[in-house]
Structure 1
Amino acid sequence: MLKSGAVSDTRENAQNSSESVKPISKPGGLNGLRRLEWILDPVSYLERTKTRTPDFFIEDSLGFGVGPVVITSHPEAMQYVLTRDRKTFNAPGEFNRILEPLIGGASVIMLGGDRHKERRQLITPAFHCERLEVYGQLICDLTDAIVSNLQPGETFSARTLTQQVSLQTIFQVVFGLGDSPRAKEIMSVLTDTVDRFGSPMSALMLFFNGLQKDWGPWSPWGRFVKLRQQLDELIYAEIRDRQAHPDSSRTDILSMLMAARTETGEALEEEELRDELMALLMAGHETTATAIAWAMYWIHKEPEVKAKLLAELDELGPDATPTAIAQLPYLSALCKETLRRSPVAMFTFPRVAQEPVEIMGHTFTPGTTLLGCIFLTHQREDLYPDPKAFRPERFLERKFSPYEFIPFGNGARRCVGEALAQYEMKLSVATMLAHYRFRLADDRPEAARRRGVTLAPARGVPMIFEGKR
């Protein structure tokens, strides 16, 4: 699969070019036990591997590829791989089949090659920076409306609250619907569906096909299948209503996708529309909700961070526009540090070598799967001294490359909703902190735990609402 040669890294290792490169090793233990640890306790698994193999390690038991799989956390290696998409490397959608029960097989996440490129070109305009201003006041108003329902002294889960904010935001952006009965039903069923995989044990169903058996409505997979059927019926009903009553004035993503045409003039089929909507709804609200909840945790765990953020928000004033809020330097640094310290995604999408490649002195044969580990990159001491500390100032003191700070991946499969996610995170955090007072419910530390294919706060960040500022 690979061999070691001379180090050719001109920036870091030119002085050591004559030294041999250490062979890439494999984490110890049985494959089956490693896979269980990866599913049930991914943070322990990743932190254990980095002590033995900080830059690269071989792992063929996680289900990321058919052939050899090499995982790296080194920015130079990730840059090499992610900047050669569709040339040296391929990013086939079939490696994402673990998500197919949730989002179907016809969305941009599942496609590869030219079909992926074409579909991405259809979706990207909906998330262009110019469109963010349209969503800005909506995000602030939704956040304020949801938080205002809390009562002083009430204990609540920040993760549950931020899920409501993020779901309603992405729902209005994607569907352009407000409080219609169907909209409420879709949101309710969608929440129940994703919560089916909210714990490490329930996530086992995604990783082992043998557990995906419908033994009726009382079985775990059977309950999920029933919810998915309900969700499909609601989404297809909305699509067909739009087809029967076209409205050219609508600017939501569903309407844009229905009006979009491929280079050959073809419209997306109903199944393709359904799968794109599911991918956007699932990925678009789950990950952002988790990131905002983590931000609330760190802000209230670190008094100095909270004081600096409030000072910046107060200086801007109560009549600040969403655009002005999103440009605040400390708020931006705080959100970046949240995504670094508590990354939601653990890996970039897998890439498969199409030809022999040499990376940092290691040669990889065609068919080797290379995977960038976002979690470990964000914990590297050489990039982020004292990486366990929460220090937004890191992002004010220096600029990190897109391969040193990489919460949304990179290359041809970089998260299409990245700009909206960051914008929503900044505005939601700013709205909550500028207008309301909160505190953590207790002093117990919050830890990262698997939630489906992502990481989320294990306890949901329990907080107490103290009222308006």
Structure 2
Amino acid sequence: MTSKTAIKLPDSPRIPAWMQTIQGMARPLEYLEAAAKEYGDVFTMRSLGFPPTVVLSNPQAIQEIFTADPHQFDSAEGSKILQPIVGNNSLILLDGDRHQRQRKLLMPPFHGERMKAYGKLICQIAEQVMKSWTIGNIQPVYPAMQEISLRVILRAVFGIDEGARFQQLRQLLVSMLDAFNSPLTSTVIFFPILQQDLGDWSFWGRFLRQRQQIDELLYSEIRERREQPDSNRTDILSLMMSASDENGQLMTDVELRDELMTLLFAGHETTASSLAWAFYWIHHLPEVREKLLKELESIGSDPDPTEIARLPYLTAICSESLRIYPIVLFSFARIVKSPIEIMGYKFDPGTLLTACVYLTHHREDIYPDSKSFKPERFLERQFSPYEFIPFGGGSRRCIGWALALLEMKLVLATVLSRYEMALTDNREVLPVRRGITLTPARGVPMMMVAQR
């Protein structure tokens, strides 16, 4: 793209790229809100180490992007920052035919009968983890949700979460992801120049060694499954290992490893954060908690998971939790491959486009009084898949979105039906950056008051 033919990008905040970078890392919500207030639905974000990024928050523009021919964009390149964690063969980092092939192979475990089987598993794990809490003891709820979501994804992926290998895998995953629990350490993900292995004492050196240990555990599991195949197994790994594409090709060990890391990374960290936010809002607003408890009581003491999943107010609470503080601020970025026009704006090849989940979810014309937690808004109207986008959209929509929603509903119902919980500090909890996600500050300290 030359200066003679280049199309002018939308306006950008009038501060240097380095300052936009700092603000975007340390105070991302304030940065985005200020830019949207000044420039509206479409503006250009400039950050060190990244090409200029066009940020869109108008549902019409988002619809045009999500429904465009996927071949119009290079989506994998826009997600390269995740490569050190998920690997080159992750669904997130594939495009075109390879992306479609891999997505088709991964879809079956996340739909239909498999989802019903996950229901009872989720309820059992939630009850087991919360049994470790003692009445009167104060602790953050986030680690408990992290433990639940990790055990759920381990059981769903491997069919088991017990034994030395899985204990070690669980500890390594939590340790590796916990390392990115502040805006400062999160910068390493965004800037490859900081990814230097300076030995065990260095941040990146520790990360690489933990990743190597995780890889060894995953490859050992894959090798054992290949040596001792069991057609009766229905876990995701077994299904992936037996699935073939239209040419009869099975997934390679490296492809399996990268997809396992994608599922483990995306399937537990994000759900844990969503649950922690939901617990905060339910207990921060007594009227929300009372209304939810009445709904849970209406289905009896031992309801079927599918009955819980259909509860309208519980569903609305989960949706509102995902709306007000979405776990990721942006959908997967798309890099334009051939000239395209979006909502009247013309973009050249090489332009980076992304839908801003947070700004879209806080449009006052769609969500009046958007900063207030109001589950009722999801009972009063249905929002389009371009107005409510917590899992992205189009061909890049999160493949595990249905499992994540089911897990949120069942964990909340299980815990609230069995235990009485309370916040230890009713002050507003604010989000903090944790890698590419936003999580509640201090993990939402709570106390178990009594058993029901």
TM-score (norm. length: structure 2) = 0.96
Does residue 1:447 correspond to 2:447, yes or no?
Answer: no
Q: CA deviation at 1:344?
A: 0.3
Q: Distance in 2 between matches of 1:174 and 1:373?
A: 30
Q: 2:148 aligns with which of 155, 165, 169?
A: 165
Distance 1:416 1:291, change over 3 A: same
Cα–Cα, structure 1 residues 361 and 187, in superposed 2: closer, same or farther, change >3 Å? Answer: same
Please name the residue that 1:293 is paired with.
276
- Matched-pair contact (CA < 8 Å) for 1:92–1:113: no
Give distance in 2, aligned partners of 1:244 and 1:161. 35
The question of 1:27 aligning with 2:23 is answered no
- Find the partner of 1:51 among 16, 37, 58: 37
CA RMSD of aligned residues (A): 1.4
Q: 2:66 aligns to what? A: 82
Q: Indicate conservation of the 8 Å contact 2:77/2:335, yes or no.
A: no
One-letter code aligned to 1:116:
H
Distance 1:221 1:230 in 2: 14
Equivalents in 2 of 1:341, 1:84: separation in Å? Answer: 27
Moved more, 356-365 or 249-258: 356-365
Amino acid of the residue matched to residue 303 of structure 1? Answer: P
- Give 1:101 deviation, angstroms: 1.1
* Deviation at residue 69 of structure 1 after TM alignment: 2.5
For the residue of structure 2 that corresponds to 1:459, the secondary structure is: helix
Question: 1:36-435 counterparts in 2 under 5 A?
Answer: 36-61=22-47, 66=51, 68-87=52-71, 89-435=72-418
Q: Residue deviations 1:322-343, cap 9 Å, x none?
A: 0000000000011000000111
CA deviation after TM superposition for structure 1 residue 368, in Å: 2.1
Please give the per-residue CA displacement for 1:251-278, whole angstroms capped at 9, x wherever unaligned. Answer: 0111111111122222211111111000
Decide whether the 8 Å contact of 1:90 with 1:113 is kept in 2.
no
Q: How many residues align?
A: 447
Q: Residues 109 and 115 of structure 2 are in contact (CA less than 8 Å); yes or no, is this contact kept in structure 1?
A: no
1:422 is displaced (CA, Å) by 0.3
How far apart are the structure 2 equivalents of 1:224 and 1:112?
Answer: 27
User: Residue 20 of structure 2 contacts residue 46 of structure 2 at CA under 8 Å; is this kept in 1?
Assistant: no
Matches of 2:161 and 2:55 in 1, distance apart?
43
State the AA in 2 paired with 1:71.
Answer: V
Amino acid at match of 2:15: G
- CA shift for structure 1 position 94: 2.1
Comparing 387-396 with 199-208, greater Cα deviation is found at: 199-208
SS in 2 for 1:406: coil
Structure 1 position 187, deviation (Å): 0.6
CA-CA distance at 1:62 after TM superposition: 6.0
Decide whether the 8 Å contact of 2:78 with 2:334 is kept in 1.
Answer: no
How many angstroms does 1:238 deviate by? Answer: 0.8
Q: How many angstroms apart in 2 are the aligned matches of 1:240 and 1:361?
A: 53
User: Offset of 1:104 from its aligned partner?
Assistant: 1.1
| Amino acid aligned to 2:443 | G
| Equivalent-residue separation in structure 2 for 1:456 and 1:47 (angstroms) | 18
1:420-463, CA deviations, whole angstroms, 9 ceiling, x for partnerless residues? 00000000011111111110011222111111111111211111
In the TM superposition, what is the alpha-carbon distance from 1:301 to its structure 2 partner? 0.3
**Partners of 1:69 and 1:370 within 8 A in 2:** yes
Query: What percentage of residue pairs aligned between the two structures are identical?
Result: 48
What is the CA–CA distance in structure 1 between the aligned matches of 2:49 and 2:96, rounded to whole Å? 21
CA shift at 1:63, angstroms? Answer: 5.1
Q: Give the ranges of 4+ consecutive aligned residues of structure 1 lying more than 6 Å apart after TM superposition.
A: none
Equivalent position amino acid for 2:355 in 1: G
Q: Could you tell me how far 1:402 is from its partner in structure 2? A: 0.5
* CA displacement, residues 47-66 of structure 1 (integer Å, 9 cap, x when unaligned): 221211220001232655x4
Deviation at 1:80, TM superposition (A): 0.5
Q: Mean Cα displacement is larger for which, 174-183 or 321-330?
A: 174-183
Indicate if the aligned counterparts of 2:274 and 2:321 stay in contact, CA closer than 8 A: yes
Query: Could you give the per-residue CA deviations for residues 366-400 of structure 1, whole angstroms, max 9, x where no partner exists?
Result: 33221100010001101100000000000001110
- Alpha-carbon distance in structure 1 between the residues aligned to 2:191 and 2:297: 51
Q: Tell me if the contact between 1:143 and 1:428 (Cα under 8 Å) persists in the aligned partners.
A: yes
Following superposition, the deviation at residue 129 of structure 1 comes to 3.4
Contact 1:43-1:449 at 8 Å conserved across structures: no
Partner of 1:11: none
Q: Which moved more, 1:347-356 or 1:445-454?
A: 347-356
TM-score after normalising by structure 1: 0.93
